[in-house]
Amino acid sequence: MRLAQHRQGAFAAYVQTYLERDLRQLSAISSLPDFQRLMMLAAKRTGKLLNQADLARDAALSHPTAHRYLNLLETGCMITRLRPLATNPTAALVKAPKLLWTDCGLAAWLAGIRSSADVAARMDSGFWLEQTLFQTLETWRSLDPRQRKLHFWRNRTGHEVDFILEEAGKFVALEIKASSQVTANDANGIRAFREDLKRKSSLVRGVVLHSGKARLLEDGVLALPWGWMVPAS
């Protein structure tokens, strides 16, 4: 309990000193309550496609102001607007970025999450799993940011892949599932992504991350435990 209280106090102090004071001084934010409201609403959208018009409306801000505040959060390395990978320029792909936070603990605090039970009770708990694993993937990318890239993929027919790792023109497709049991259907998005690639050999591996054991799901697709990517607390 004491550790949890310390953690909550640390996040509160971080928001106050860095997000509220330092960023405000750098950018001359006119209304601190407006900025705080946008931060909390953005945290509640983690892992989802970012619709800036909807976010601005919900925050009761003008679109230019919401856009400026998001730019400040991204410049301050608080959020990342993950861009979709366009495998085929002529295909009708989703162009909106996915909103993710650099620190999932801070994002959870801003969203009102105070415990693992709070996450489990949420309808969007799967997005928070993506957010958690994103931090590990960002560490991989940051080791060689010029060569390594991180995307997601989604088309208009509903097929999607949560994360695409790219290095030297090669891809690894990651699909994330919270369940312990996965089937071949869980790799549908990976198959659609492979079919959309002009060079099928560019896809090195498809991986379905889940809470169960490692096994071969099908040729070229592995099911692996996402617990390997999350440090023990």
Q: What pLDDT digit, counting tens, does each position of 127-161 carry? A: 999 999 999 999 999 999 889 999 999 988 889 99
Contact 148, 165 (CB under 8 A): yes
The string over 134-170, giving b where at least 16 C-beta atoms fall within 10 Å of a residue's C-beta and e elsewhere, is bbebbeebeeeeeeeebbbbbbeeebbbbbbbbeeee
Contact 196, 206 (CB under 8 A): no
Q: What is the pLDDT of residue 18?
A: 64
Quick one: CA dihedral 69, 72, 76, 80, positive or negative? positive
For the chain, the average pLDDT equals: 87
- Phi and psi based region of residue 28 (left: phi greater than 0; alpha: psi -120 to 50; beta: remaining): left
For residue 134, what are the contacts with CB-CB under 8 A and spacing of at least 6? 47, 80, 82, 100, 104, 163
Give bridge partners of residue 207 from the DSSP assignment. Answer: 174, 222
Q: What is the pLDDT of residue 117?
A: 86
Q: What is the pLDDT of residue 92?
A: 59
Q: What is the pLDDT of residue 198?
A: 81
Q: What is the pLDDT of residue 129?
A: 93
Q: What is the pLDDT of residue 200?
A: 78
Cα 214 from chain centre: 23
Q: Name residues of the chain where pLDDT drops below 50.
A: none
For residue 138, what are the contacts with CB-CB under 8 A and spacing of at least 6? 80, 102, 150
HSE-CB of 150 using CA atoms within 13 angstroms: 21
Q: What is the pLDDT of residue 192?
A: 94
The string over 29-40, giving b where at least 16 C-beta atoms fall within 10 Å of a residue's C-beta and e elsewhere, is beeeebbbbbbb
Q: What is the pLDDT of residue 206?
A: 96
Q: What is the pLDDT of residue 22?
A: 65
- Give the number of residues written for the chain: 233
Q: What is the pLDDT of residue 174?
A: 97
Structure tokens at 182: 């996965």
